[in-house]
Amino acid sequence: MSIKNLVGYQVLDSRGRPTLAVTLTMSDGSIHTARVPSGASTGIHEAKELRDTDTKFAEKYYGGKSVYQAVENINNTIAPRLKGHRPIPLATDGILVELDHTPDHHILGANALLAVSLAVAKAAAHTAGISLARYFQPEGKLLIPMPMVNILSGGAHANRTMDIQDVLVLPNGATSFAEALSWIVAIRELAASKGAKAGSVTHLIADEGGLGIAFPGIDNALEFVTGCIEDLGLNVGAQVSLAIDVAAAQFFDGTKYKLATQDREFSSEQFVGFVTKLVNNHPILSIEDPFGEDDWQAWSHFMESAPSNLQVLGDDLFTTNAARLKRGIEEKCANAILIKANQNGLVTSTHSVLKTAQANNFKTVVSARSGETEDSWLADLATGWRASQIKVGSTHGADRTAKWNRLLELEAIEECEFARPF
């Protein structure tokens, strides 16, 4: 079976902003569509997402955020080159790299490349007669990753109601994905109603479906979520723990860490102390981006005294980039990596970064973006790649539930086991 046709076009993401889709038609008439996500608190080292700046495309209505140039790149440059080829991800990704060999894929756009790369992977799984998850792991039980789920949102996703971006929960004691999800939904419901009773809900549902409740400080937000877990009779620590995404690059100016809601400033050294206190005072099992994306020293310094069971997770630090991960491993800056396909640009090289991390005993957390679509390929990649965790935002919004529901589907129809990474 070969690729008969490939069409790129602009669609909308969960924020109502333009993003890219590709529909690929195979010689057997089957149709495979892939849609790409888009971040808001993006790392500066991410692959380049092409947005229209050329006056030819930049219409006033989308405020420079349209992706018509990337659409043209797919339809005029990529499609003619791939037509007639068999859908083999490694080979077609190789052709995409030939067409745009720049490390950040700024010529054709990482969004254009990823949309095509994903559509080809879907077509390859179809050709093999198996699910996308199974395509990456043909034999044995699939591993359903542990969900890391957003309860409270702040930072760039919630009008900066909190300085840190997410307070999440990790159902580390759950024995199945279905059980994990039931606990999480209960925690989120209770957090919403307790927040409303206290009169502190801003009525804001944030970009990833989390609650945008305003708290005077980070400690209060963490105590609030811990209280919700306890009120439900769940054992804090043994069954459910906290995770946070500090997204520190959002408030680090290169010299100072500035917590605006508390009107406090920290040097890099002082902020290592602040974060250390935070993880020692609360039941936190995972901390993401506690320091700036180029403040490597703060990361390695923190790691020296961090609790041994703490997951120290690099998102903006690594940007799913092989060279940055290599440096992080060598300098012992973290022990886990967030994997976002659109930070990288290609399915196979994203997979390769994840495999390097696994080979170096790093935990891997496959992640959605704050701007998502109803596409659910992320659930299949996370499962087929044996990632230990998956981060999709909250349990609200079809862009989020599409992934959770696909994991429930995989757990029901495939032979699976549930990841217990902690």
Residues with catalytic annotation? 208, 340
Does 245 help bind Zn ion (rule: CB under 5 A)? yes
Cα distance between residue 394 and residue 368, in whole Å: 11
The one segment of 33-41, 169-177, 194-202, 377-385 that binds ligand PGA by CB under 6 A: 33-41
Please identify, using beta-carbon distances, which residue of 41 and 311 lies nearer to ligand PGA: 41
Does 370 help bind ligand PGA (rule: CB under 6 A)? yes
How near is the Cβ of 367 to ligand PGA at its closest, in Å? 6
The one segment of 38-46, 52-60, 187-195, 380-388 that binds ligand PGA by CB under 6 A: 38-46
Residue from 49, 293, 315, 411 binding ligand PGA (CB under 6 A): 315
Cβ density class 392-401: b for 16+ within 10 Å, e for less? bbbbbbebbb
Cα distance between residue 40 and residue 209, in whole Å: 14
Helix (H) or strand (E) holding 393: strand 389-393
Per CB under 5 A, contacts with Zn ion among 151-170 are none
In this structure, are residues 163 and 154 in contact, taking their beta carbons and an 8 Å threshold? yes
How many other C-beta atoms are found inside a 10 Å radius of the C-beta of residue 311?
A: 24
Is residue 25 left, alpha or beta, with left meaning phi > 0 and alpha meaning psi from -120 to 50? Answer: beta
In sequence order, the β-bridge partners of residue 211 are 152, 205
Does 41 help bind ligand PGA (rule: CB under 6 A)? yes
Please identify, using beta-carbon distances, which residue of 247 and 346 lies nearer to ligand PGA: 247
In this structure, are residues 299 and 317 in contact, taking their beta carbons and an 8 Å threshold? yes
Does 14 help bind ligand PGA (rule: CB under 6 A)? no
Helix (H) or strand (E) holding 284: strand 284-288
Is beta strand 146-153 parallel, antiparallel or unpaired with respect to 166-170? antiparallel
3-state SS assignment for residue 229: helix
Per CB under 5 A, contacts with Zn ion among 283-322 are 315
CA separation (Å) from 402 to 185, 374, 394, 395, 397? 15, 6, 11, 10, 9
376 binds, among Zn ion, ligand PGA, none (CB under 5 to 8 A by kind): none
How near is the Cβ of 155 to ligand PGA at its closest, in Å? 8
367 binds, among Zn ion, ligand PGA, none (CB under 5 to 8 A by kind): ligand PGA
The one segment of 36-44, 95-103, 300-308, 410-418 that binds ligand PGA by CB under 6 A: 36-44
Half-sphere exposure of 63 (CA within 13 A, CB side): 2
Binding-site residue total for Zn ion (CB under 5 A)?
2
How near is the Cβ of 162 to ligand PGA at its closest, in Å? 14
The one segment of 14-22, 39-47, 93-101, 197-205 that binds ligand PGA by CB under 6 A: 39-47
Please identify, using beta-carbon distances, which residue of 100 and 245 lies nearer to ligand PGA: 245
Binding-site residue total for ligand PGA (CB under 6 A)?
11
Does 153 help bind ligand PGA (rule: CB under 6 A)? no
How near is the Cβ of 394 to ligand PGA at its closest, in Å? 12
In this structure, are residues 399 and 373 in contact, taking their beta carbons and an 8 Å threshold? yes
Q: Tokens 């994903």, residue?
A: 118
The one segment of 222-230, 241-249, 306-314, 389-397 that binds Zn ion by CB under 5 A: 241-249
Please identify, using beta-carbon distances, which residue of 315 and 375 lies nearer to ligand PGA: 315
CA separation (Å) from 101 to 19, 108, 109? 22, 10, 11
Q: Which amino acid appears at position 355 of this protein? A: K
Does 286 help bind ligand PGA (rule: CB under 6 A)? no
User: Which residues have a Cβ under 8 Å from the Cβ of 99 and sit 6 or more positions away?
Assistant: 77, 78, 81, 107, 108
What does the per-residue mask of binding to ligand PGA show for 233-272, with x meaning CB under 6 A? ------------x-x-------------------------
3-state SS assignment for residue 285: strand
* Interface contacts to ligand PGA, rule CB under 6 A: 39-42, 165, 245, 247, 315, 367, 369-370
